[in-house]
Amino acid sequence: MNPPAKVAVAMDTPLEETALGWVRDLSRYAGAFKVGPVLFHAAPSIVERVKERDRLLFLDLKLHDIPSVINLAIRGLSGRGVDRITIHLSGGEEMAAAAVDGGGEDLLPIGVTVLTSLSPPVWERFSGQRIEDSVSRMVEMGWRAGIREFVCSGNEVSALKKAFPHGVFWVPGIRFPGDDGGDQKRVSTPQEVLDAGADWLVIGRSLTSVSVPKARSRLLSLLDAG
Ligand code: C5P
């Protein structure tokens, strides 16, 4: 078996035992496990327990606050086994730089651009900009602040990878053909996202709401495809 690569399993459940079951059943095929606010607030000890499996731990709290608070919040999380923490790039360059400083060598901030649950018309009405323009401006700004890893949708990743070949791009909003999109609006298939050059596929319900054998065979198909 090759070392697992490219897939982060999004564990959006308040039940620690359920999440640990996903870690146990899928860690052979996944390189990272993503803990969001639902799980972290219900069971913060999940962090240590995922690390026992020696996989990358991605804490997806999508922090958005003034720079001094962001700096202290991320500083407080470093050294606890968390490898990545998300911040909203809409918080601005100074906030992004404060996140980089707070994490130091140990905890890298990932800059979230425009949520994959937002559609182009909704974003344009709100911001007056096309999503792809907003996303690339956010990444440029984050890069200036020292951020090197970003979350974007499958629609934007190919252009971003060309503009920032040394950036690391995590792509959620992924659905296998035929799966329900749910609340996600900018959705892509795993193959589309791999072809577009994503570094990491962030997949939740398409793995966690199907049977374990189906989730494993889906992950195996991605390892083959990548
Ligand atoms: O279940 P699904 O595959 O839609 O889950 C996607 C995961 O990625 C969720 O945990 C969500 O919080 C996260 N995410 C996202 N869009 C972003 C950033 C993170 O869907 N822009």
Q: Is 115's C-beta closer than 6 angstroms to any atom of ligand 1?
A: yes
pLDDT tens digits for range 101-114: 999 999 999 999 99
For ligand 1, the distance from its centroid to the CA atom of residue 106, given in whole angstroms, is 24
- What is the domain range of residue 66? 7-225
Residue 1 in any domain: the answer is no
Cα angle value 74/18/201 (rounded, 5°): 60
Q: How many domains does the chain have?
A: 1
Q: Is 60 in the pocket of ligand 1 (CB under 6 A)?
A: yes
Distance 40 CA to ligand 1 centre (A): 15
Domain containing residue 17: CATH number: 3.20.20.70
Residue at 120 is within a domain: yes
CA of 202 to the centre of ligand 1 (A): 7
Give the pLDDT confidence of 114-170 residue by residue, as tens digits.
999 999 999 999 999 999 999 999 999 999 999 999 999 999 999 999 999 999 999
Tokens of 103: 């994490």
Q: Which residues contact 138 (CB under 8 A, 6 or more apart)?
A: 89, 90, 111, 113, 114, 150
Residue 192, domain member (yes or no): yes
pLDDT attached to residue 67? 98
Does the C-beta of 171 come closer than 6 Å to ligand 1?
no
Contact 221, 204 (CB under 8 A): no
Distance of CA 212 to the CA centre of its chain: 22
> How would residue 5 be classed by pLDDT, with cut points 50, 70 and 90?
very low
